Chains A and B, each alone.
Chain A
Amino acid sequence: KQEVTQIPAALSVPEGENLVLNCSFTDSAIYNLQWFRQDPGKGLTSLLLIQSSQREQTSGRLNASLDKSSGRSTLYIAASQPGDSATYLCAVAGGAQKLVFGQGTRLTINP
């Protein structure tokens, strides 16, 4: 059974810092991995999707990497801003057409 873990559960950093969020998964047989952002009480916003054949994807200040063999992904956020404060979720796509989600990392950027 696929399990997804995100560490740390919460992170607080000053504005302007570069930071890394971690995601690990137990079964390397995945189709893709997707990173989402969730603001309090809201739905999920898709940030990046990495196909299983890819090593990384970039969008603006965000860069996500994937190492399938070790079961790890990282989300790198450059030059963090207060507006980046949210919960970040990673999810892996495996069999049965479902995304398996981690518990999320709650990120706070302090002005």
Chain B
Amino acid sequence: DVKVTQSSRYLVKRTGEKVFLECVQDMDHENMFWYRQDPGLGLRLIYFSYDVKMKEKGDIPEGYSVSREKKERFSLILESASTNQTSMYLCASSLRLFGTSGNHEQFFGPGTRLTVL
């Protein structure tokens, strides 16, 4: 089974702090994704990566950056955390991109609930 793990289940940070959220997948997937989930807004894509050191912006990249130095690890960085970044953050991975042959199924981690005070 695909396993996607996230470094923390719960995190509390102060406004202005630099925050790192880590995600690791163990199935040699090419693609990794960061979403945030908010009541009434659903899940929204922040960034995704289709290869090591490659990244693409999603719908809401402002205030975030990402890093993918190794295939299995994808980090989400909040350069200066703000209260409006309080949310549930979900990481996902998939073997293949949409529009290519192969398995496109996205597998999600357990989520990190981040509170910024």
Contact with B along A93-108 (1 / 0, CB 8 A): 1101111011110000
Contact-residue bracket for chain A: 20 to 34
Distance (whole angstroms) from the CB of A3 to the closest CB of chain B = 11
Contacts of B33 in A (CB 8 A): 98
Is B113's CB within 8 Å of the partner chain A?
Answer: yes
Q: Are A98 and B59 in contact (CB under 8 A)?
A: yes
Q: Are A99 and B45 in contact (CB under 8 A)?
A: yes
Contacts of A76 in B (CB 8 A): none
A94 to B31, CA, bound (A): 16
Contact with B along A28-42 (1 / 0, CB 8 A): 000110101000011
A46 to B92, CA, bound (A): 11
Chain B positions within 8 Å of A, measured between CB atoms, are 4, 31, 33, 40, 42-43, 45, 48, 50, 56, 58-59, 90, 92, 97-99, 104-111, 113
Chain A positions within 8 Å of B, measured between CB atoms, are 31-32, 34, 36, 41-46, 49, 89, 91, 93-94, 96-99, 101-104
20 A–B contacts from the bound complex (CB under 8 Å): A31-B98, A31-B104, A32-B104, A34-B106, A41-B113, A42-B111, A43-B109, A44-B90, A44-B108, A45-B108, A49-B104, A91-B43, A93-B98, A94-B98, A97-B31, A97-B56, A97-B98, A98-B45, A98-B58, A103-B42
